[in-house]
Amino acid sequence: MKVFYKLKEWEKIRQKYNDKGAVKRREEKLMKKFNKWDKKCELYERKVREYKDVKREENRGVISWVKDILGVKGEEEEIPLPDNLKPFYSYSPKPRKPDFTLLDATDPNLRKLTPLEKKVLKNSSKTTSLLSQIKSEWSESYSQYLLSTHGPSFTKAALIKATSDLTSPSSLYPLPRLSHRKITYHSGPTNSGKTYNALLALKSAPTGMYLGPLRLLALEVYEELTSSGVYCSLITGQERRNVPFSTHVSATVEMARMEEFDVVVIDEIQLLGDEERGAGWTRAFMGVECKEVHVCGGGEGVERVRRMAEECGDDFEVVEYERFNELKVEEGPLNKNKDYKTGVREGDAIVAFSKNDIFAIRREIEENTEFKCCVIYGALPPESRAQQAKLFNDPSSDYKVLVASDAVGLGLNLNIGRVVFHTMFKGGRNVEILNHSLVKQIAGRAGRRNSVYKHGAVTCRRKEDMRHLRKMLETDITPIERAGLLPNVQHVEAFADVTGIESMSELFSQFTSAAQVSRGYFLCRQEAISKAASMADTLENLKVTEKFTLCIAPFNESDEMAKGLVMGFAEALQRGRPYGLDVKIPEGRVKTFEDLGHLCALHHLIDLYLWLSQRFEVADNALETATAMRRKRVLLGMITEALEGGEGALKLKHDYNKMDERYRARWRKLQRERQGRDRGGKGERRFLPNRGTGKGEASARGPASRNQKQRRFARGKKRQDAAVS
């Protein structure tokens, strides 16, 4: 049997047994010997598995293997086969090219094995060892060839892989990994006291830091700690209040300080799964250097945070909380008329998802009832939202009803007795129905602890929405499976040095393509940063770090005013001169809804300018910053006056009923289109006939022709369009 395990004797065997009958008899005789040998082999199954693993790797091909190492894409090279391996491939029954290459040898379809050879390879453990030896020699010869011709490529590929490696986010923060932290997850719904208990631990600590999702929350904690006699500084993207000898810091998540503290509180930890801002929570959780980390959030984030704590080597503990007051769903809607002329009571919070709807609802309530309304929505400045919330919570004020957007569901402590959903649909062109997470977040605001309301209540304006409301409140929130990541400035700078790419858009595109991310993570803000990077390519004489900072600035690329501000600031940065903010405050009183929107847009521009000023140190910029702060205070006063101007202060022509009907019709249309795609295949809308009526069915002579199907499709589409209109 040794003849079958020596490569140089394979050809002799094939020449000796040219006769088919002799070959067959010889094969049968050898197979008996092999079967007898296999029965005596105790490690047969393990060897077969080893052979399959080797064969699987062999079929991949060495070219593909090297391409995976290099991480590059391109045409395969024609590499000569090493001389010591050529005899093994000289028995191929197929005609070969004169220049037999390694690429040819890796082709699994090139080498055709005889039945005897297949049996030998399948059953013989020694053949498995032989294949392993050949694989080793093959790889060694090929590696020597690559090192002599592609040495720099190996070095560059390794550097690219290292600078874009995000598979272990915890290793990006080495200092916290030197200590053993204690992670306490305060898990519970809204109005359960989880944040309150975490703040108690923060107050009692010698040093500490609070990290929240909003400036309003950071400001609220700053004021609470200060009133308790704790020296605390405030740090947000637009404002810094550095208190001398302060031991505590209250900041937004993105402004987290990577310093040593005793206790750190991270609020709304479930937002680490957010597609836009999730990276801020991941960075804060893994990067803060402290003894204790208290994270507050819903139960959907427990398992994700637990796995992240295990990656960091920290202790993990969960503290469960229950809601203080019961949340009840009312039996019926607000009233039978689907309006706000009746049924509204003190402590109500009407939740709508359009600024036009919010002001139209406010106007109707103030014209038909005795109540005055506060308004809160996302486009309002944070200071204005805080002022409106304070006015609503004040028992001595005349403002007893709140009309707000979904911004009310996060960050604000409000004395709400009942939440009324204006609609269950949200969005513009692509309408979506409210999911269970958002419904629970908003509805949970009713019945705050220590308020005058013994329990919270929730209802809808329309009767047909009540079923969806109950269903969403009974549905368990889906656990968070992935946490957001975002490359920092050091990542981008190192990647640019290795690749030599100067274009910011190409650099970020190459980074996202080469980035390696673990299964439990994802990259945030890819689309937004890519659009901003295209804008940054027009700027010259700026460092890569400066361009990347401009790309992550908080502005919408479709906002021409904000885009012009960023470009103007960047051009001034190139010249090394301060940028003068050109914001003209309109004169006179705000009369229309459009005027109020313009004031809010100007306020956002000033916030964006202050954000840029804090991240770029420009000489002689203090005067411009002070001017921007003064204009900001003037705008806030005008916005407050417009919101509290009384009945008829803002002129608005809007019918919320018509808008709601359009949303519902659009939703029904989208649902039919989705069902059509599911039934008829991708990109095809298909209308199924009614069974039993005979209408639209195929004739008894056979299946419907193609023209008949097209006519049915046209009729169904016409009926659908008529129903929608």
How far does Cα 298 stand from its chain's mean position? 18
SS3 call for 592: strand
Contacts of 692 (CB under 8 A, 6+ apart): none
- 374 and 269 in a single domain? The answer is no
Domain membership of residue 50 (yes or no) is yes
In a domain, 649, yes or no: no
Contacts 24+ apart (CB under 8 A), 433-440: 433/468, 433/667, 434/468, 434/472, 435/472, 436/472, 436/473, 436/475, 436/476, 436/477, 436/478, 437/300, 437/477, 437/478, 438/406, 438/409, 439/469, 439/472, 439/473, 440/189, 440/190, 440/472, 440/473, 440/477
Ranges 460-464, 465-469, 674-678: which has the least confidence: 674-678
> Can you tell me the distance from the alpha carbon of 502 to that of 515, in angstroms, rounded to the nearest whole number?
18
Q: Is the pTM for the entire model greater than 0.75?
A: no
Per-residue pLDDT tens over the stretch 16-58: 555 555 656 666 666 665 565 555 555 545 554 555 555 444 4
pLDDT over 60 at 329, yes or no: yes
Report the percent of the chain where pLDDT is more than 90: 18
pLDDT at 208: 94
Domain boundary among 426, 456, 474: 474
Cα 452 → chain centroid: 39
Angle, helix 355-368 to helix 593-615, in steps of 10 degrees? 130
Domain with residue 248: its CATH number is 3.40.50.300
Give the end of a domain, one of 129, 149, 169: 149
Q: Which of 460-469, 615-624, 655-664 has the highest mean pLDDT?
A: 460-469
Q: 240-241 and 432-433 as β-strands: parallel, antiparallel, unpaired?
A: unpaired
CA distance linking residue 195 with residue 294, whole number of Å: 9
**364 and 466 share one domain:** yes
Work out the number of other CB atoms within 10 angstroms of the CB of residue 299.
17
- In this structure, the strands spanning 208-212 and 248-252 are parallel
Say what the pLDDT of residue 83 is. 52
Decide if 349 contacts 402 (C-beta within 8 A): yes
**In this model, does residue 605 exceed pLDDT 50?**
yes
Comparing 95-109, 135-149, 406-420, which segment has the lowest mean pLDDT? 95-109
* In a shared domain, residues 90 and 229: no
Confidence band of 668 (pLDDT split at 50, 70, 90): confident
Give domain status of residue 506, yes or no. no
Under the phi-then-psi rule, with left for phi > 0, alpha for psi from -120 to 50, and beta for the rest, what region is 624? alpha
pLDDT at position 688 is 34
CB atoms within 10 A of CB 522: 17
DSSP state of 164: T
Tell me, yes or no, whether 257 lies in a domain. yes
DSSP string, 38-87: HHH-TTHHHHHHHHHHHHHHHHH-HHHHHHHHHT---PPP-PBPPGGGGG
Which range (292-296, 388-392, 611-615, 695-699) has the least confidence? 695-699
Number of domains making up the chain: 4
Residues 44 and 67 in one domain: yes
Is residue 357 one of the residues assigned to a domain? yes
For residues 217 and 310, membership in a common domain is answered with yes
Q: What average pLDDT does the segment 281-300 reach?
A: 92
Do 258 and 356 share a structural domain?
A: no
Is the same domain home to 277 and 352? no
Residue at which a domain ends, from 291, 320, 349: 320
Check whether residue 130 and residue 229 sit in a common domain. Answer: no
Is pLDDT above 80 for 598?
yes
- Could you please report the per-residue DSSP string of 321-386? ---SS-EEE-SS-S-SSSSSSSS--TTEEEE-S-HHHHHHHHHHHHHHSS-EEEEE-TTS-HHHHH
User: 3-class DSSP state for residue 408?
Assistant: helix
Residues 120, 197, single domain; the answer is no
Domain annotation covers residue 565: no
What is the C-alpha to C-alpha distance for residues 67 and 268, in angstroms, rounded to an integer? 43
- Distance in Å from the first CA to the final CA of the chain: 84
* Residue 9 located in a structural domain: yes
Q: State the chain's mean pLDDT as an integer.
A: 75
Q: Is 187 helix (H, G, I), strand (E, B) or coil?
A: strand
Tell me if 536 is assigned to some domain. Answer: no
Say yes or no: 339 and 311 in one domain.
no
pLDDT at 203: 93
Question: Is the same domain home to 200 and 299?
Answer: yes
Within this chain, do residues 438 and 466 fall inside the same structural domain, yes or no?
yes
Q: What average pLDDT does the segment 284-309 reach? A: 92
Assign residue 364 a region (left: φ > 0; alpha: ψ between -120 and 50; beta: otherwise).
alpha
Q: What is the pLDDT of residue 703?
A: 45
Domain extent at residue 423: 327-474
User: Of the segments 97-111, 642-656, 658-672, which one has the largest average pLDDT value?
Assistant: 658-672
In whole angstroms, give the CA distance from residue 148 to residue 577: 51
The CA distances from residue 394 to 398, 434, 451, in Å, are 9, 31, 12
The Cα 65–Cα 663 span in angstroms is 53
Residue type, 94: K
pLDDT at site 123: 47
The confidence score (pLDDT) of residue 638 equals: 87
Percent share of the chain, pLDDT over 70:
70
